[in-house]
């Protein structure tokens, strides 16, 4: 409920609260309005806005105080103490409360009302983003998108590292010491190294992404590009979730995602996202995507702990947004995965044509035999194909009409 529909308290009390509150912030109309009333009673008559705001903050600053150890860890990680309410941070950064709230939410953080929970770093971030907009380097929607993409990616990274790394290292090692007591010196030692490594990896990834974009044939291709998109899906995963213990299931998923990520990266593809029992990857070259798909099958087939795998790959125009891929080509790859035989790779007609065009696979075995015979007659080396393609029965695919899938394999 916002101040406009608070429904209780005097108009003067609501006005004082609204003056300090970000748009859309959730308020408690009981305790908070009572605190506002007390603040107004204690404030001097005809007090300026700053005095009213300060009195209100003091009345509310004792609410929802975090655990002291958690607060110490927060200050260690952020490198600064809590100093600002959202209203103060926006004013110090020279931006509207509305824009500051949009940036904050885009980064993935919940509304904090008028708690004094922001630091100098938050003010500086607001100044930087708004400065890019004012300078014309970014539009406001683009700045919001930058905040959202960075927030979503770093949130997952932070959760991942805490779950898989810090939690294991902070198990109590000495009698009488809690995990949080050990966590503080550990974070103090690790934080600078992890921060440096994060910046290094980000720059490396940014260089790679920029290189791919500038090689595009035209401006349209920078956003809507022709890519090979592949899905790899574990078979009967739902049944496994009922049979395995939670820890075993977690280990299986982690092993699958790690194996897939390593194979995709090693062969020149890009891991777009993981979905537990499924991974989505992309490659600029159809041959690379085919190699990754077959390698995934071959690798997991030799691992007795892993279930069987299905892979579907399609080639065509793909829209890229915030590190993800969208479009008919992606949908087709997903559908091919769902109808692929176990431990097999299905591809669409466009992907088969691309492999033939690049010389990675013959159009047909008859053509391959003819080319080999002609080369032998001329005393030349016959064409060397990496992959074989076998046409499958045409079939309707939900939402995409009738498609003719091809079974991809290695050519002996």
The pLDDT tens digits of the residues spanning 181-233 come to 777 787 888 888 888 998 998 899 888 878 877 765 555 555 567 899 999 99
Instruction: Give the residue, 23 or 159, on which the prediction is more confident.
Output: 159
pLDDT band at 5 (very low <50, low <70, confident <90, very high): very low
pLDDT at residue 299 tops 70:
yes
Using CA atoms, how far residue 287 sits from 104, 164, 192, 262, 267, in Å, is 43, 34, 41, 18, 10
Q: What's the pLDDT score for residue 209?
A: 78
* DSSP structural state of residue 138: S
Taking only the tens place, the pLDDT of each residue in 33-46 is 455 445 445 545 54
pLDDT one-digit tens code per residue, 231-277: 999 988 877 777 777 778 888 888 898 899 999 999 989 999 888 88
Which residues 6+ apart lie within 8 Å of 18 measured at CB?
Answer: 3
User: What value does the mean pLDDT take over residues 54-70?
Assistant: 58
What is the per-residue pLDDT for 185?
81
Mean pLDDT of the chain: 79
Q: Which residue has the higher pLDDT, 371 or 393?
A: 393
Strand partners of residue 403: 395
Q: How confident is residue 74, by pLDDT bands cut at 50, 70 and 90?
A: confident
Q: Would you state the pLDDT for residue 376?
A: 77
Q: What is the pLDDT of residue 4?
A: 40
Model pLDDT, residue 7? 39
Is the four-CA dihedral 355, 358, 364, 365 of positive or negative sign? negative
Averaged pLDDT for residues 387-393? 91
Q: What is the percentage of the chain residues whose pLDDT exceeds 70?
A: 77
The more confident residue out of 52 and 99 is 99
Provide the 10 A C-beta neighbour count for residue 112: 16
**H/E stretch holding 76:** helix 68-78
Highest mean pLDDT among 195-199, 292-296, 390-394: 292-296
Contacting residues for 241 by C-beta, under 8 A, at least 6 apart: 249
pLDDT category of residue 318 using cuts at 50, 70 and 90 = very high
What's the rounded mean pLDDT across residues 102-118? Answer: 87
pLDDT single digits (tens) 332-374: 999 999 999 999 999 999 999 999 999 899 877 777 778 778 8
Percent of the chain with pLDDT over 90: 30
Rama region for 203: left / alpha / beta (φ>0; ψ in -120 to 50; rest):
alpha
pTM, 2 dp: 0.63
And the tokens for 273? 């996202």
Lowest mean pLDDT among 18-22, 120-124, 214-218, 245-249: 18-22
Summarize the confidence of residues 268-288 as an average pLDDT. Answer: 91
What value, to the nearest 5°, has the Cα angle with vertex 52 and ends 50 and 56? 115
């Amino acid at each position: 409920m916002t101040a406009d529909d608070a429904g209780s308290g005097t108009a003067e009390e609501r006005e004082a609260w609204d003056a300090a509150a970000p748009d859309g912030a959730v308020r408690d109309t009981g305790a908070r309005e009572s605190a506002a009333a007390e603040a107004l009673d204690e404030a001097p008559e005809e007090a300026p806005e700053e005095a009213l705001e300060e009195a209100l903050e003091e009345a509310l600053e004792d609410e929802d105080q975090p655990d002291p150890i958690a607060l110490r860890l927060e200050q260690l990680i952020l490198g600064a103490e809590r100093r600002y309410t959202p209203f103060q941070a926006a004013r110090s950064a020279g931006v509207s409360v509305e824009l500051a709230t949009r940036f904050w939410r885009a980064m993935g953080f919940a509304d904090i009302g008028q708690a004094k929970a922001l630091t100098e770093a938050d003010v500086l971030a607001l100044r930087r983003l708004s400065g890019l907009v004012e300078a014309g380097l970014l539009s406001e929607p683009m700045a919001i998108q930058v905040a959202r993409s960075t927030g979503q990616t770093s949130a997952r990274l932070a959760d991942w590292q805490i779950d898989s790394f810090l939690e294991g290292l902070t198990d109590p090692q000495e009698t009488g010491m809690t995990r949080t007591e050990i966590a503080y010196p550990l974070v103090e030692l690790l934080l600078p190294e992890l921060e440096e490594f994060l910046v290094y990896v980000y720059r490396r990834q940014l260089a790679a992404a920029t290189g791919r974009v500038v090689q595009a044939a035209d401006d349209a291709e920078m956003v809507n590009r022709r890519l090979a998109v592949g899905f790899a899906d574990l078979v009967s995963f739902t049944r496994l979730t009922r049979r395995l213990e939670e820890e075993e299931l977690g280990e299986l998923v982690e092993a699958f995602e790690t194996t897939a990520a390593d194979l995709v990266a090693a062969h020149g593809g890009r891991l777009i996202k993981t979905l537990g029992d499924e991974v989505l990857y992309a490659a600029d070259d159809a041959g690379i995507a085919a190699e990754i798909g077959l390698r995934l099958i071959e690798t997991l087939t030799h691992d007795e702990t892993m279930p069987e795998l299905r892979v579907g790959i399609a080639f065509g125009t793909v829209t890229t947004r915030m590190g993800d891929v969208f479009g008919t080509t992606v949908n087709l790859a997903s559908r091919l995965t769902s109808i692929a035989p176990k431990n097999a790779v299905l591809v669409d007609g466009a992907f088969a044509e691309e492999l033939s065009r690049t010389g990675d696979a013959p159009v047909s075995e008859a053509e391959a035999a003819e080319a080999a015979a002609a080369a032998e007659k001329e005393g030349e080396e016959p064409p060397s194909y990496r992959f074989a393609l076998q046409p499958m029965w045409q079939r309707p695919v939900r939402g995409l009409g009738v498609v003719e899938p091809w079974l991809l394999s290695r050519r002996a």
